[in-house]
Chains A and B, each alone.
Chain A
């Protein structure tokens, strides 16, 4: 065994969307960071569709960006098609979505990591996380190298004991043609005793566009005028680009029949898959089974890159055998003549119960171990990136003995996401929706910078040269909102007067609702500041309802606010807890004085 001489502060295990953000943010905060991945050429790979953003997800990308993460900037660098979703509805539900060139995305992100000081990259697979009495102390790799570390961030995606299904064919794999991490799965289950369960997800087939009859589809061109995903991208850098085109079409009765005739041959219905998949974004065989009255489902063709003819067919996710997949493609008008390049498949993988995590994403039972992304039961690049960013910050803070950084539900979708995960747990892969946020009017995509950039600057994730322009922009927005005209030519950097005007307009539309949301949020935010003191066992409180006591014991909330959001815990339970916390405090105080 080779023992590496250096001791790292943070080791990130996995180089997907969570791992990349985690590594960047930890390194930016001054932690000596190492990212270990099986394959450096698949860093930040878009394993499913070639797009970033979408309903509620686009808001998350802008939040990551406003905090100083890379996802938004990398998206703009690799973009080939922009579409603002939901513009027919109110601005609170507008969501940005950008199609990207998969390869450019990957290598741009890789470059971001390579130039980041404090961050080492190494191609190797982790097989074991080593702990001592203080928590995480090192990791061991497949090549038998041992790295000492103070903390580790697990971002394993679908790779932990991943199994791939195409029809009745089952192969081990985290992604098609990529090996799963089976030894690490065993280590987590048996040695670290994590509560591991299985989820399922899937991806559709990719096709070669040669032979597509475009006349049969409805084209969706890129938006005009141009906009950017990142707050920091200069829109003029996009002007020279040749944007691509997406296409919309539908399944037919023939598609329906093929699926019905072959139900039992799919991995999902043939009996090979037992784990829970998402109820939204179901595989196409699932759609036919669960919604028999719908005979035509939308399909969305997304180009995979500038230099390829491959298209991703959103809506055709399937675990049918290859011959059925060919027939499915042939059943769609305009696709008869094109061929499949990669079949769709379902994948089953390990995740760890997120109720075992603190809101910092640190594991309650393994100090120094942080988890982010699909291992926490979520799906989506954006959900993963958001958790990765937070896990990176908090792992760095952990090694620097600083307070954890936790976003509230009224501050960010990322706050809603993590609070839902650690408080309620998951029973299917978790995807963000705007309806999960009770403060939707506050959490818009047009105010992510105003909400979160102050944190980004304060934490040190955003370059200091943006400080002054951002403050000017904040000031400008305030003035416009009270009806004043912008006074002078302030330096606004990547921000602009037009952006502030748009913001003020939206703000005006929602004024009454904004205030109402804000008031509600403040009231609740305040009980989030009441910490449940260490050593106090909420479940031991006499008089709590039995069910509540059980739930409190399983979640172990950190604050009275978190306790109040556990499903089934009553206001009276919270009243009782408040009295008992104070009682506990007085007793501790008396002990100390004595």
Chain B
């Protein structure tokens, strides 16, 4: 009470410092050079923990002298990530007025992405748009005219994030997050309503049920988090699984993709004798194609089982699934079955209508597959092959070309990881009592809320009131 009053009397400059202490105690980081293709990139970190975090990411921790450039190795816990030129600016003599560290690194998207991931793992968080400038202003490093520019910057970020939340940028992602949110909110409602059920009239929730609900959300979140690791894709290559029933032309497609490009890097057998992996390069991006060929050599019943098992395994490892279907035939029952398997992977999926050089029948897709990207391809003439390759790398290109997207992905990624951590902890508390379980689920919901918009406890109460008859 008293110090609230005292705060009012403090002059504005000191107040700004207080403001920093109280509102922005976090350490933030971002790539501050915009152009992805430049040879050198600068990653900037600002906040009270900047030096501590720096010391965890360099090979040898040291006492950093302000304004002295040091050439040193960055370490990702296992290997040297890159050599960097590091400069430390001590508060208040820095751009933001806080402790600032600048790391000049090589401009590879992988290195940039991985470095930000590391900084965040050690306690920094991705900066929001305009946040560096905001801090600079609040610390009196900028005048009022510049402040407007800061506000415009934040505002534009706000609109973009809003569009994202409003489903216009990436409707699929937000739909899926909404589904997860709903599942968690309903589970939480089930738990909360039992915490409030004093007469113990309600049957307890089975531990198996709770575990299964959490597991299902957890596996979706893990899958989602994986798709956000742009850095990994750039380094390791984009894994593409070609799936389809026998004779749909997967192997020809594989050959067409690799062959026409004349850029075969290797042609080796995969981990199992019957899986073929091919690597190709599209506009500098590595793509690894997996084809589950060769199953036709076995007896039919065994082959079908084994074929499906392998297909599922290939899909699990893949970043993108390409469903190859024979354009001259309709969608068969076996393909309907396959589609169910594809759907369960929750991965980016493309549909290729193959053999369009033959007589093509109407493509009769399952209802929930309609509206997906369908590409017409002829392996014979090569029609559509280049388009398919470009489609495969398109989203990755987008991620690389706009610096902001990389960071915002990292923010999503971080929120998902935190949600994941809480759900994993929740799994450990399934038999410990509703109030513990509720804490973690509520936290996980909060992180999804951060990505999506709003989940207040009232949402959960809303579910409780609509589904359960609550007494006084």
Chain B residues whose CB sits within 8 angstroms of the CB of A290 once the complex forms: 469
Q: Is the CB of A572 within 8 A of B129?
A: yes
Interface-side segment among B358-366, B398-406, B431-439: B431-439
A219 at the interface (CB under 8 A from B): no
B130 at the interface (CB under 8 A from A): yes
Q: Is the CB of B458 within 8 A of A575?
A: no
Q: Is the CB of A530 within 8 A of B22?
A: yes
Given contacts A90-B434, A298-B199, A531-B8, contact A438 B155 (CB under 8 A): no
Residues 203-246 of B, flagged 1 when their CB comes within 8 A of A and 0 if not, give 00000000000000000000000000000000000000000000
Q: For chain A, residues 41 to 94, give those with C-beta under 8 angstroms from any C-beta of chain B.
A: 49, 54-56, 85-86, 88-90, 92-93
Chain B residues whose CB sits within 8 angstroms of the CB of A571 once the complex forms: 128, 450
Given contacts A542-B151, A582-B138, contact A54 B472 (CB under 8 A): yes
Interchain CB contact (< 8 A) of B454 among A49, A294, A527, A567: A567
Residue of B nearest to A280 (CB): B470
Residue of B nearest to A560 (CB): B23
Q: B216 CB to closest chain A CB, in angstroms?
A: 23
B150 at the interface (CB under 8 A from A): yes
Q: Is the CB of A435 within 8 A of B198?
A: no
B200 at the interface (CB under 8 A from A): yes
Residue of B nearest to A288 (CB): B469
Q: Is the CB of A279 within 8 A of B144?
A: no
Q: A533 CB to closest chain B CB, in angstroms?
A: 9
Interchain CB contact (< 8 A) of B438 among A435, A517, A541, A579: A435
Given contacts A92-B435, A572-B157, A582-B12, contact A424 B458 (CB under 8 A): yes
Q: B145 CB to closest chain A CB, in angstroms?
A: 10
Q: Is the CB of A89 within 8 A of B434?
A: yes
Chain B residues whose CB sits within 8 angstroms of the CB of A56 once the complex forms: 196
C-alpha gap A438/B455 in the complex (Å): 12
Chain A residues whose CB sits within 8 angstroms of the CB of B66 once the complex forms: none
Given contacts A86-B198, A90-B433, A587-B144, contact A435 B154 (CB under 8 A): no
Interchain CB contact (< 8 A) of A580 among B131, B151, B453, B456: B151
Interchain CB contact (< 8 A) of A434 among B128, B137, B195, B465: B195
Given contacts A568-B454, A576-B151, A585-B15, contact A529 B7 (CB under 8 A): yes
Q: Is the CB of A545 within 8 A of B442?
A: no
A314 at the interface (CB under 8 A from B): yes
Q: B202 CB to closest chain A CB, in angstroms?
A: 11
Q: Is the CB of B151 within 8 A of A543?
A: yes
Residue of A nearest to B468 (CB): A291
Given contacts A543-B152, A567-B454, contact A435 B192 (CB under 8 A): yes
Chain B residues whose CB sits within 8 angstroms of the CB of A424 once the complex forms: 456, 458
Q: A302 CB to closest chain B CB, in angstroms?
A: 10
Given contacts A433-B461, A434-B195, contact A529 B1 (CB under 8 A): no
Interface-side segment among B53-61, B158-166, B315-323, B348-356: B158-166
C-alpha gap A437/B192 in the complex (Å): 12
Q: B49 CB to closest chain A CB, in angstroms?
A: 14
C-alpha gap A157/B457 in the complex (Å): 26
Q: Is the CB of B199 within 8 A of A578?
A: no
A282 at the interface (CB under 8 A from B): yes
Q: Is the CB of A576 within 8 A of B154?
A: yes
Q: Is the CB of A578 within 8 A of B23?
A: yes
Chain A residues whose CB sits within 8 angstroms of the CB of B162 once the complex forms: 545, 570
Residue of B nearest to A405 (CB): B1
Residues 177-201 of B, flagged 1 when their CB comes within 8 A of A and 0 if not, give 0000000000000001001101111
Chain A residues whose CB sits within 8 angstroms of the CB of B468 once the complex forms: 291
Residue of B nearest to A439 (CB): B439
Residues 1-38 of B, flagged 1 when their CB comes within 8 A of A and 0 if not, give 10111011000100110010011010000000000000
Chain B residues whose CB sits within 8 angstroms of the CB of A441 once the complex forms: 435, 439
Chain A residues whose CB sits within 8 angstroms of the CB of B152 once the complex forms: 543
Residues 572-591 of A, flagged 1 when their CB comes within 8 A of B and 0 if not, give 11011011101101110100
Chain B residues whose CB sits within 8 angstroms of the CB of A542 once the complex forms: 151, 155
Q: B198 CB to closest chain A CB, in angstroms?
A: 4
A489 at the interface (CB under 8 A from B): no
C-alpha gap A523/B130 in the complex (Å): 21
Q: B65 CB to closest chain A CB, in angstroms?
A: 32
C-alpha gap A579/B151 in the complex (Å): 7
A17 at the interface (CB under 8 A from B): no
Q: Is the CB of B137 within 8 A of A298?
A: no
A337 at the interface (CB under 8 A from B): no
Q: Is the CB of B19 within 8 A of A582?
A: yes
Interchain CB contact (< 8 A) of A545 among B8, B158, B450, B469: B158
Chain A residues whose CB sits within 8 angstroms of the CB of B471 once the complex forms: 280-281, 298, 300, 314-315
Given contacts A298-B201, A542-B155, A578-B134, contact A436 B435 (CB under 8 A): no
Task: From A88, A279, A585, name the one whose CB has the most chain B CB atoms within 10 angstroms.
Answer: A279
A513 at the interface (CB under 8 A from B): yes
Given contacts A433-B461, A567-B454, A578-B23, contact A572 B470 (CB under 8 A): no
- Chain A, interface size category, equals 35 or more
Q: For chain A, residues 301 to 323, give those with C-beta under 8 angstroms from any C-beta of chain B.
A: 314-315
A28 at the interface (CB under 8 A from B): no
C-alpha gap A298/B161 in the complex (Å): 48
Q: B467 CB to closest chain A CB, in angstroms?
A: 9
C-alpha gap A103/B389 in the complex (Å): 83
Given contacts A436-B457, A441-B439, A542-B155, contact A575 B469 (CB under 8 A): no
C-alpha gap A530/B126 in the complex (Å): 24
Q: Is the CB of B198 within 8 A of A287?
A: no
Task: From A294, A424, A434, A531, name the one whose CB has the most chain B CB atoms within 10 angstroms.
Answer: A434
Q: Is the CB of B22 within 8 A of A526?
A: yes
Q: For chain A, residues 349 to 363, give those with C-beta under 8 angstroms from any C-beta of chain B.
A: none
B466 at the interface (CB under 8 A from A): yes
Chain B residues whose CB sits within 8 angstroms of the CB of A440 once the complex forms: 435, 438-439
Chain A residues whose CB sits within 8 angstroms of the CB of B435 once the complex forms: 89-90, 92-93, 440-441
Chain A residues whose CB sits within 8 angstroms of the CB of B199 once the complex forms: 248, 298, 300
Q: Is the CB of A86 within 8 A of B195?
A: yes
Given contacts A89-B435, A529-B22, A567-B456, contact A279 B466 (CB under 8 A): yes
Q: Is the CB of A435 within 8 A of B436?
A: no
Interchain CB contact (< 8 A) of A530 among B19, B144, B159: B19
C-alpha gap A586/B180 in the complex (Å): 45
B147 at the interface (CB under 8 A from A): yes
Q: A541 CB to closest chain B CB, in angstroms?
A: 8
B101 at the interface (CB under 8 A from A): no
C-alpha gap A585/B1 in the complex (Å): 22
C-alpha gap A90/B433 in the complex (Å): 7
C-alpha gap A161/B144 in the complex (Å): 53
Q: Is the CB of B472 within 8 A of A435?
A: no
B460 at the interface (CB under 8 A from A): yes
A239 at the interface (CB under 8 A from B): no
Q: Is the CB of A579 within 8 A of B196?
A: no
Q: B437 CB to closest chain A CB, in angstroms?
A: 10
Interchain CB contact (< 8 A) of A579 among B5, B22, B134: B134
Q: For chain A, residues 418 to 439, give those with C-beta under 8 angstroms from any C-beta of chain B.
A: 424, 433-438
A463 at the interface (CB under 8 A from B): no
User: Which residue numbers of A lie inside 8 Å of B, CB to CB?
Assistant: 49, 54-56, 85-86, 88-90, 92-93, 95, 248, 279-282, 287, 290-291, 294, 297-298, 300, 314-315, 403, 405, 424, 433-438, 440-441, 513, 516-517, 523, 526-527, 529-531, 541-545, 560, 567-568, 570-573, 575-576, 578-580, 582-583, 585-587, 589
- Some 11 contacts from A to B, beta carbons below 8 A apart, are A85-B198, A281-B471, A282-B469, A315-B472, A440-B438, A560-B23, A575-B131, A575-B134, A582-B147, A585-B12, A585-B15
User: Which residue numbers of B lie inside 8 Å of A, CB to CB?
Assistant: 1, 3-5, 7-8, 12, 15-16, 19, 22-23, 25, 128-131, 134, 137-138, 144, 147, 150-152, 154-159, 161-162, 192, 195-196, 198-201, 433-436, 438-439, 442, 450, 453-454, 456-458, 460-461, 464-466, 468-472
Nearest 6 A/B pairs, CB to CB: A543-B155, A572-B158, A279-B465, A526-B22, A280-B470, A435-B192
